[in-house]
Structure 1
């Protein structure tokens, strides 16, 4: 959910508030059950789309797959309508990232019905997998997701400097290989030799270019050994940043009435994003 002020708005009482709590929060038994059921529906619906693309399976189970596809299309349509109904500012939710993802969960099926030959619309249905990220707000995933985002932002400068060093090393070693091996062994230019250096240092090893001289093989061996360490450095940088920013308090899916930002602490009285008073923490 976005942390912008006055985002979608949460109803204050009645059936809309109860439905909002079930759909948008996961600290209650009903909310967890809804999210888990939705997760299963998303994964099964994507599996249906994938199986429908296999000609042998589609020829044998085409009617069943089509029936399942329309079942999930109607299910996601009803769920989207419920999400719009239980927020006070449905237009803002519809324009949000997850609002667009929710719309794409069922809109392609209707477009295929209107335009039967538009095969591209069928592939768009795989975007339903994006909705899995909504379900991953359960429990500690809220904190871990935000911690990862902060760690990536905090370590961006270090990673950029590290990548610049790797780029210089690849350029120098690639140029060296161009001089050592030469065009007669396939290293026809410096860009070609740099391409080989990147493939070797990342331990991909396509095999389209290989060193033939003893010195070239020695350089290649050094680059392969360097590649192992180089691949581990960005991981270490991000991990160190995450450790430094680690959260100690358990996360919740407690939601602000005004801006719908999530992850507030269980004893918080005011929203950390917009400053509005928070409702009482409800959980089972």
Structure 2
């Protein structure tokens, strides 16, 4: 008796289209999705322009509802095409997909919440998968590790900066006084932080010669302070990049496991590295 080849289940076909970008249909789906996301963000921006919204309110509203319904259908399909939907729902992209879908529905109850549709911009991160750039994201992991390794040093540095701002802010309060806008110590500390970070809103400015001299010192310190955390992170990043135990780069693809939703599989992988599920239909 000949073994009949079983055709892939419709859920498997949908999973391949929705979650993967290696196939022509999957790539087309992702490109169309990205275009829809960009279009929806543009609509929200145009809606915030009152003159444009008054003239084209109906068109903007209907367009947003159409896109929201399409995204809702897509979200539901993403849930039903995986064997463990809770893994997707609680994943980063699952949360982003949900948050980018519900704002229009919330706007029925809470006016103005449709502006949260701008969260859909986070979905554009999928462009790395479509362009197959995921294999080149090792540098981002090195940066994340460098930031993690630097957190203690940066925390101490920021704490020292905060203490300096409190001291300088108090001095400026005593030097300038209420008549020059430094009405209290918290406001003076706020001015010091703004000045030290070289933002300079200009809402408060020293008038006395001594105050201006102190302000000049704070401004100069600001330029030096900017370089410190950059140097700390750069040193850690260089150390991580030169690590001899760092594994060589691996060619990855966009295949997504239909069982556990794991990604970043090797090009030659036949089974999921996490749960052992077959990656091929």
Q: Quick check: 1:225 aligned with 2:220?
A: yes
Q: d(CA) in 1 for partners of 2:105 and 2:174? A: 60
Q: 1:133 to 1:178 in 2, by over 3 A?
A: same
Within a 5 Å distance, the mapping from 1:196-235 to structure 2 comes to: 196-235=191-230
Residues 178 and 94 from structure 1, CA distance in 2 versus in 1: closer, same or farther, beyond 3 angstroms? closer
What's 1:24 paired with?
19
2:74 equivalent to 1:79: yes
SS in 2 for 1:163: helix
| Closer/same/farther in 2, CA of residues 149 and 198 from structure 1, 3 Å limit | same
Counterpart check, 1:177 vs 2:178: no
Q: Which runs of 5+ in 1 are unaligned?
A: 1-11
Compute the displacement of 1:242 (Å).
Answer: 3.6
Counterpart in the other structure of 2:261: 260
The answer to whether structure 1 residue 163 and structure 2 residue 164 are counterparts is no
The TM-score with structure 2 as length reference comes to: 0.77
Counterpart Cα distance in 2 of 1:169 and 1:135? 43
Over residues 99-154 of structure 1, what are the superposed CA-to-partner deviations in whole Å (9 max), with x where a residue is unaligned? 34323433343455xx4x63144233333223223444453355455444333322
Shift of 1:61: 2.1
Higher mean displacement: 83-92 or 144-153:
144-153
Match of 1:140 in 2: 133
Show the counterpart of 1:9.
none
Q: Distance in 1 between matches of 2:169 and 2:10?
A: 67
Instruction: Map 1:184-203 onto structure 2 (within 5 A).
Output: 184-203=179-198
**3-state secondary structure, aligned to 1:245:** helix
- The 1:105–1:188 alpha-carbon spacing in structure 2 relative to 1, beyond 3 Å, is closer
Q: How far did 1:17 drift?
A: 2.6
Partner of 2:119: 127
> Cα distance 1:185–1:60, how it changes in 2: closer, same or farther (>3 A)?
closer
Q: State the partner residue of 2:31.
A: 36
Q: How far off is 1:212 after superposition?
A: 2.7
Q: Does the CA-based 8 Å contact 1:268-1:278 persist in structure 2?
A: no
Structure 1 residues 206 and 58: CA distance shift in structure 2, 3 A: closer
Aligned pairs, number: 266
Return the alpha-carbon distance in structure 2 between the equivalents of residues 212 and 132 of structure 1.
Answer: 49
Return 5+ residue gaps in structure 2 as ranges: 1-6
Which segment is superposed worse, 65-74 or 24-33?
Answer: 24-33
CA distance in 2, matches of 1:85, 1:210: 60
What displacement does 1:97 show?
A: 4.0
Q: Say what the alpha-carbon RMSD is for the aligned residues.
A: 3.3
